Chains A and B, each alone.
Chain A
Amino acid sequence: MTLHIIVLTAFLAFALWAVLARTLIQSTIGLALASASVSIIMFQFDAPWAAVFELSVCTALISVVFVSTISLTNPPPKNEISMLYWDRFKRFAYLPIFLLLGGFLFLTNKIPIDFLAPHIEPEKDFRLVLWNLRHMDLFGQIILLFVGVFGVVVFFKERPKNE
């Protein structure tokens, strides 16, 4: 139980850092570390496939995309930065209040577990479930890849000059 609490607190702390950080690179690192802590939680819950996917894709790939986007755009000019810090502090100072409010509201009305666990023995092997039972999801993923390719082509490809 203590391990659960430690990793969950790390997740919340990294998410807070990603929101409150000063520069965008620090926010990206915070997001990557939050993804890593979610991956550790998944390992604890005996879900190794999802954990490996989350670690390799969300922690690494998405961070690379973010860093490349950040490097393709310019930061705001120097004279605005100090003004921005004070402005951000005033705006984000209310966040701990909302967090405490949310936590308090939750702890007073807890989620009751008044349902029984199902008795049927489900399919345990992840590979059999994915490839035999969820064909529609696989079909959706194929379409999603096509849509992603077209999205990248529409946004990132310059029109050829002699067409």
Chain B
Amino acid sequence: MNNDFSILVNLYGLFVILVFICGLYCIMLTKNLIRILIGIEILAKAVTLMVIVAGYVSNHMAVAQTFVITVIIIEVVLVPVVAGLILGIFQKTDTLDVQKIRNLQG
């Protein structure tokens, strides 16, 4: 049982870390504002997966599902707010390039 859990957690841990690296890379090296938001979403998916695995291993699946649903609701409120920010930037500067919004030096 312990060995089985160990293989499972290591396998999922490996993939969660790989997807996390993908998401961080996307946020840091992209030139498009909307792609930064997609990177944030990829990070959130990876962390959601880790919560589910944690719930499975510790046999507390109901609490883990509660966590996951609340995180999804937070995400659902965050995405339109950030989309509103992006649309506001687009209306003011007519571009979505990250390097053009360097007005604040700092």
B-contact 0/1 string along A4-41, CB 8 Å cutoff: 11001001100110110000100110010011001001
Any chain B CB within 8 A of the CB of A86?
Answer: no
Shortest CB-to-CB span from A68 to chain B, Å, is 8
The 12 listed contacts between A and B (C-beta, < 8 Å) are: A8-B11, A12-B18, A31-B38, A31-B41, A31-B42, A49-B65, A53-B69, A92-B25, A129-B63, A144-B77, A151-B77, A151-B84
Closest residue on chain B to residue A127 by CB atoms: B62
The residues of A with any CB-CB pair to B shorter than 8 Å are 1, 4-5, 8, 11-12, 15-16, 18-19, 24, 27-28, 31, 34-35, 38, 41-42, 45-47, 49-50, 53-54, 57-58, 61-62, 65-66, 69-70, 72-74, 76, 84, 88, 91-92, 95, 98-99, 102-103, 106-107, 110-113, 117-118, 122-126, 128-130, 134, 137, 140-141, 144-145, 147-148, 151-152, 154-156
- The answer to whether B11 and A15 touch across the interface, beta carbons within 8 angstroms, is no
Question: A-side binding surface: helix, strand, loop or mixed?
Answer: helix
- The answer to whether A53 and B52 touch across the interface, beta carbons within 8 angstroms, is no
Beyond the given pairs A12-B15, A102-B21, 17 more chain A to chain B contacts, judged by CB atoms under 8 angstroms and listed by A's residue number, are: A1-B7, A4-B12, A8-B15, A15-B23, A19-B42, A46-B56, A49-B69, A69-B34, A76-B96, A103-B14, A107-B14, A111-B13, A122-B59, A129-B66, A141-B73, A144-B73, A154-B84
